[in-house]
Amino acid sequence: MISTLPVYPLLRLLKQWQVAIAPAPGVCRRSVLLITVLCLGGFAAVALAGATERAARERMMRVIEADVLATSRYLGKKSLTPSVLEAMGNVARHEFVPEAERDVAYENRPLPIGYGQTISQPYIVAIMTDLLELRAGQQVLEIGTGSGYQAAVLAALDTNVYTMEIIEPLGRQAAQRLETLGYDRVEARIGDGYYGWPEHAPYDAIIVTAAAGHVPPPLIEQLKPGGRMMIPVGSRFLTQQLVLITKNADGTVTTRQILPVRFVPLTGDH
């Protein structure tokens, strides 16, 4: 439910301001009153906007939980872990979409972010994050920074995130956004994610947010034994499958198809 500021407390505050603010000589009390009313109106508008955003975020969380339950036979679980739910609820998605999309930032669907790219559907972000089974302090590599939303969710789980974006202006905007919002556990770079980021390997988890025709061998190499990777596999025009890869102690991998998805393609020179 969207809450607004009650009228009577505002009126009481207005009367208090009238008493507290004595106009300077030559200044009409009516002018002071008008300024006071305008200020209070601004405060009320900010409070209402905040309440609206909170309500939209709560509604998004309810939809995610319902979708997880509806797809539980694919996921192998009926609910997300509490830490992932908390991270999804705490990250302000509206900060990661263009101004023109902010009114629909908390709808459970992908949104355009420019350069032919999208910010993923919140449900997909949630399940990909959840299936990685992350713990605080782990090293995570993300391929496809986009606007930085997925990286922010990963960082909200107290992991150390290394994120790569091949589209330079998009990557630089995301890096600046993450820094401005205080996500200091995220390190970003511009580059072809197919080859990973070997300087910080091995990783406890890798998440790829663009569809690859096959699983990139360099990413398998950079995954720790026991580590997990989430990656959509398939072409733009055929069915893509969200795949969970687990690296075994002997270096072999186990794969599990989770559910059909649709992602933008992984680009690069490979």
Residue type, 58: E
Identify whether 79 is a catalytic site residue.
Answer: no
Q: Quote the CA–CA distance of 106 and 86 in Å, as a whole number.
A: 15
Catalytic residue among 72, 79, 83, 120: 120
From residue 246, give the alpha-carbon distance in Å to each of 46, 71, 77, 249.
46, 21, 18, 10
Q: Which residue has 């990286």 as its token pair?
A: 151
Q: Quote the CA–CA distance of 116 and 102 in Å, as a whole number.
A: 18
Residue type, 247: K
Q: Strand 139-143 vs strand 203-208: parallel, antiparallel, or unpaired?
A: parallel
Q: Quote the CA–CA distance of 151 and 165 in Å, as a whole number.
A: 11
E strand intervals along 86-238: 111-114, 117-119, 139-143, 160-165, 186-190, 203-208, 223-233
Catalytic residues: 120
